[in-house]
């Protein structure tokens, strides 16, 4: 199977010719990069065992361990109750069980920047073999691990991520889902090797902010931030979204190669449900091209790898006469999408002062999932 990228190192990738397009065929179309950023964040979360805690410099934690880090594996006090997770070798909640170590293992709880060790009358580490419960007490943080109830509060691989049909919430991991993807496009990316680095900006058990930076030749070209948040079953109050789009399988394919050059455009399957008219179109976009050669990706990464196409399906002016590249892409989700099609209900507005906005309601085959916005710089060629 063909792909948009090939991995050549732990954080290094080589783009294929199928990423080329937009106004220059020797530059990468930004659409597949959105999917790659999500993929690398997914890998970071998986490598640390699904933990929502920060890792040093964004590096994954080996062996699936869940460690709360800030250079010294400090636990963050969350939700106003200042609970810290006793992690690592001291009080590990891994694989669905919490192991209690007495005599030979210390239960340590770290709050803020001071290490609180449970060795005093007020911070007594108790190991109970019958209940497999390890408790570490500090002035402001309490970490509890219960094996009898199979509950791992330290967000290990067994932390339950509730899967809910129409809600599109994934199973497994740390129970957090992506709510926003915001990308600033700082410069063009040639068809040459580049690097993607991720790090946690704000750690937490219920919300987490992750940043990804794409660099080429030692210079950042894309800076993205992703909000991850706790998934909940809110089916009882769900509502407010518009209706679904027509079935993509019932629509004819509409090649865009007469409007846009490059390998990326040849790799996508565009099917219009309405339009196109200048500044207005409703279309499905799909592709049989893999994101990264030889690597499985999440439904979200697969979905967003074509969202940036929205700025090209409802052109107001010919790209042979005008330039209107987007400087950013922001995606807000109210539901996790499922493939294999990405629906774009798109409106493009040009202002009188060189600015434009592309606004899109995003759909999967089950209905709307969120919105995408792109700010445009408009100028004649």
Residue 367 sits in a domain whose CATH number is 2.40.160.210
Q: Determine the pLDDT at residue 63.
A: 36
Q: Determine the pLDDT at residue 81.
A: 38
The Cα angle at residue 189 between residues 46 and 55, in degrees rounded to 5:
25
C-alpha distances in Å from residue 86, one per residue of 69, 83, 123, 184, 263: 12, 10, 13, 37, 50
Q: Is residue 365 part of a domain?
A: yes
Q: Determine the pLDDT at residue 144.
A: 38
Strand partners, 27: 190
Q: Is residue 129 part of a domain?
A: no
Give how many domains the chain has, as a whole number. 1
DSSP one-letter code for 303: H
- Let me know: does 53 contact 92? Beta carbons within 8 Å: no
Q: Is residue 10 part of a domain?
A: yes
Q: Is residue 231 part of a domain?
A: yes
> With a cut of 50, which residues of the chain have pLDDT below it?
51-172
Judge residue 103's burial from the number of C-beta atoms within 10 Å of its C-beta, 0-12 exposed, 13-18 middle, 19 or more buried. exposed
**Residue 198 structural domain:** 3-49+170-380
Any alpha helices (H) in the chain, and if so which ranges?
31-47, 263-267, 299-304
Q: Determine the pLDDT at residue 50.
A: 59
Q: Determine the pLDDT at residue 27.
A: 97
Q: Is residue 246 part of a domain?
A: yes
Q: Is residue 184 part of a domain?
A: yes
Q: Determine the pLDDT at residue 1.
A: 67
C-alpha distances in Å from residue 275, one per residue of 6, 113, 282, 321, 336: 35, 58, 7, 21, 27
Q: Is residue 71 part of a domain?
A: no
Q: Determine the pLDDT at residue 255.
A: 85
Cα 357 from Cα 381, distance rounded (Å): 19
Report cis status (omega within 30 of 0) of the bond before 291. no
Q: Determine the pLDDT at residue 246.
A: 97
- Let me know: does 4 contact 12? Beta carbons within 8 Å: no
Share of residues in the chain with pLDDT > 90 (%) = 65
Cα 210 from Cα 201, distance rounded (Å): 5
Cα Dmax for the chain: 77
Q: Is residue 156 part of a domain?
A: no
CB-based contacts of 111: which residues, under 8 Å, 6+ apart? 74, 75, 77, 82, 84, 138, 139, 140, 141
């Amino acid at each position: 199977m063909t792909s948009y990228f090939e991995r050549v190192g732990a954080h290094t990738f080589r783009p294929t010719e199928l990423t080329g397009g937009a106004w220059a065929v020797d530059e990468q179309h930004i659409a597949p990069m959105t999917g790659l950023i999500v993929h690398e964040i997914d890998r970071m979360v998986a490598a640390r065992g699904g933990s929502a805690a920060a890792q040093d410099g964004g590096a994954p934690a080996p062996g699936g361990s869940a460690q709360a880090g800030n250079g010294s594996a400090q636990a963050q006090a969350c939700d106003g109750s200042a609970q810290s997770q006793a992690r690592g070798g001291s009080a590990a909640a891994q694989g669905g069980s919490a192991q209690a170590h007495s005599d030979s293992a210390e239960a340590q709880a770290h709050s803020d920047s001071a290490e609180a060790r449970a060795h005093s009358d007020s911070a007594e580490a108790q190991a109970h073999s019958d209940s497999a419960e390890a408790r570490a007490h500090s002035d402001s943080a309490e970490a509890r691990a219960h094996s009898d109830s199979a509950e791992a509060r330290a967000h290990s691989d067994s932390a339950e991520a509730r899967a809910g049909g129409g809600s599109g919430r994934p199973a497994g991991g740390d129970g957090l889902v992506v709510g926003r993807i915001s990308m600033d496009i700082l410069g063009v990316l040639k068809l040459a090797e580049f690097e993607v680095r991720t790090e946690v900006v704000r750690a937490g058990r219920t919300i987490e902010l992750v940043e990804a930076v794409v660099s080429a030749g030692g210079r950042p070209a894309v800076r993205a931030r992703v909000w991850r948040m706790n998934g909940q079953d809110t089916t009882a109050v769900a509502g407010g979204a518009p209706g679904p789009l027509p079935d993509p399988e019932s629509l004819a394919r509409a090649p865009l190669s007469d409007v846009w050059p490059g390998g990326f455009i040849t790799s996508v399957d565009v099917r219009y449900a309405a339009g196109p008219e200048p500044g207005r179109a409703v279309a499905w976009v799909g592709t049989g091209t893999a994101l990264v050669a030889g690597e499985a990706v999440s439904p979200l990464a697969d979905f967003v790898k074509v969202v940036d196409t929205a700025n090209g399906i409802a052109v107001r002016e010919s790209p042979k006469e005008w330039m209107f590249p987007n400087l950013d892409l922001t995606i807000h989700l109210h539901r996790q999408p499922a493939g294999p099609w990405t629906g774009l209900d798109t409106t493009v507005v040009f202002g009188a002062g060189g600015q434009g906005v592309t606004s899109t309601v995003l759909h999967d085959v089950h209905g709307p999932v969120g919105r995408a916005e792109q700010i445009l710089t408009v100028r004649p060629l």
